[in-house]
Amino acid sequence: MLAVAATQLAALGFEAMSVAAVADDAGTTRQAIYRRWPTKSDLAAAAMAAIDVEGDADHESEVESVDPFADLVAELVDFRRGVSRPGRLSLVGSMLQTSADRDVAARYRARVIAPRRRRLRAIFERAQQLGQLEADADLSVLVTMCTGAWYARALAGEQPPRNWARRTAELAWRAAGGSLPAEVRSAFGGGSRRRGRSSAISG
């Protein structure tokens, strides 16, 4: 039932989501749904709380990485895999609608958006600790840059390239004053970004 509700949210938005249609698609009755979730908002919020986030909880780790750049690429690969799943991008659009139920949107942010942003920020913070990025780089901007690059392409109707994750990681890394790994620098003709106060993402 919750999977069906999430699918309807993605396809129709909260206002157009129908408990009766959810019941029909799930092979149950409205009465059965209302016994568990008294209102449509309760059903939608439960669907958001139960949403499959591709094992994201498993990524929360206390291990201090020695290769934050590789971690960043891996995180963006995982993000692409998640946002490319059927209905996911339209679900994002539904949560941005002014008509979206506030509790439902809050559940979505807590379940999907906040963990991703927290992990991205942790990667950048680790890179700063290792001296790989400028200490005053604006991490909030960097985090938004990473996922925002995907949504901007989607809104423009552009298909992201196959190497989107690495290219986005490289851009964010260089913008924060970081030097790319040797194997990545070779793709840029052996050059490296100059570190200094001119960073576009300095705080």
Domain that holds residue 19: 1-50
Answer yes or no: do 44 and 123 share one domain.
no
Answer yes or no: do 59 and 16 share one domain.
no
Write down the pLDDT at residue 97.
76
- The CATH number of whichever domain residue 147 belongs to comes to 1.10.357.10
Longest distance between any two alpha carbons in the chain, whole Å: 66
Answer yes or no: do 68 and 168 share one domain.
yes
Write down the pLDDT at residue 54.
47
Mean pLDDT per 10-residue interval, the chain, length 203 residues: 85 85 94 92 82 51 76 94 80 76 83 90 96 96 94 89 94 92 57 41 39
- The CATH number of whichever domain residue 44 belongs to comes to 1.10.10.60
Report the DSSP beta bridge partners of residue 202.
137
Handedness of CA 100, 55, 38, 17 (dihedral sign): positive
Answer yes or no: do 79 and 143 share one domain.
yes
CA 132 to chain centre: 24
Answer yes or no: do 149 and 68 share one domain.
yes
Q: Name which of 66, 65, 67, 49 is nearest 57 in CA terms.
A: 49
Answer yes or no: do 197 and 132 share one domain.
yes
Write down the pLDDT at residue 201.
40
**CA–CA separation, 11 and 6 (whole Å):** 9
How many helical (H) and strand (E) elements, i.e. helices and strands, does the chain have? 11, 0
Write down the pLDDT at residue 191.
46
Answer yes or no: do 74 and 25 share one domain.
no
Instruction: Please classify residue 62 by burial: count the beta carbons closer than 10 Å to its beta carbon, then call 0-12 exposed, 13-18 middle and 19+ buried.
Output: exposed
What is the domain count for the chain? 2
Answer yes or no: do 94 and 17 share one domain.
no
Global pTM value = 0.73
Answer yes or no: do 17 and 101 share one domain.
no
3-state secondary structure 81-128: HHHCCCCHHHHHHHHHCCCCCHHHHHHHHHHHHHHHHHHHHHHHHHHH
- Tokens 């986005």 correspond to what residue? 168
Answer yes or no: do 73 and 125 share one domain.
yes
